[in-house]
Structure 1
């Protein structure tokens, strides 16, 4: 069964803006982190740097650049692309946060995550995920049909 998201929600621009800011943060963090960790081993944990309050190595910085470009780009384009990318990004960020939490004190912590990284990852997942709930677009007829489905037909 498909989920029923509101179509043409009146706060859609605000949610796209918030998701875009989250994507911009990921992008800026990745660029600054990649610059500060240049010369370090790609998956190093010993030479990891603190950037914008988070711990990073070149691998995590590069991953953040890619994620930031995808989320920011989708929210700049808008339409239903932003809806689908925000949904996917939210799920991926939640999985990354949980996996990082599970391996934080082990050798498997290849991205040099700290607890602050996990918390920020969950916050970003919440922002992008919430935006995905309200940023779906469609025709006025589709919006009316969705409202009728969610709340029952309107009586005049």
Structure 2
């Protein structure tokens, strides 16, 4: 059975604003990180530097820049595009955080993640994932039908 997300939730603008801020942070971090680490080794710990409180190398900076553009762009466009992108971003950021946590002390830490990076990744994943629960858009009749379905008694 498909999940029943509220349609036209009254706090949708707040959640979109939080995702815009999250996307803007990823974008700014990616740009500043790439500028500061350009010329360093592309992956691995040798080319890593601390930027805006996070450890980064050129590869992670470019990845953050791309993620920031996607999240920021989708939330500026809005509609259900933001819902699907935020849902995907929440899942991807959570998985990346868990994978980075598992690989942090190994040679496979190609993005130079530290524990701070993992925590910030989980926070950004939580923000975008939570926003995806409340930012679905639809017509007034679709919102009424969804509200009726969510509050109707269950039958076995």
Pick the TM interval, shorter chain: over 0.9
Shift of 1:152: 1.5
Residues in 1 aligned to 2:30 and 2:79: alpha-carbon distance in whole angstroms: 26
Name the Cα RMSD after superposition: 0.8
Shift of 1:104: 0.2
- Report the equivalent of 2:122: 122
**Structure 1 segment 22-101 matched on structure 2, within 5 A:** 22-101=22-101
Q: What is the total number of aligned residue pairs between the two structures?
A: 153
- Which consecutive residues of structure 2, in runs of 5 or more, have no partner in the other structure? none
- Report the equivalent of 1:145: 145
Q: Deviations over 1:79-137 (max 9, x none)?
A: 00000000000000000000000000000000000000000000000001111000000
With structure 1 as the length reference, what TM-score do the two structures score? 0.97
Shift of 1:139: 0.3
Q: Deviations over 1:31-67 (max 9, x none)?
A: 0000000001110312201001000000000000000
Residues in 2 aligned to 1:12 and 1:95: alpha-carbon distance in whole angstroms: 25
SS in 2 for 1:97: helix
Residues in 2 aligned to 1:41 and 1:140: alpha-carbon distance in whole angstroms: 53
Q: Does 1:106 align with 2:106?
A: yes
SS in 2 for 1:134: coil
Q: Deviations over 1:17-41 (max 9, x none)?
A: 0011000000000000000000011
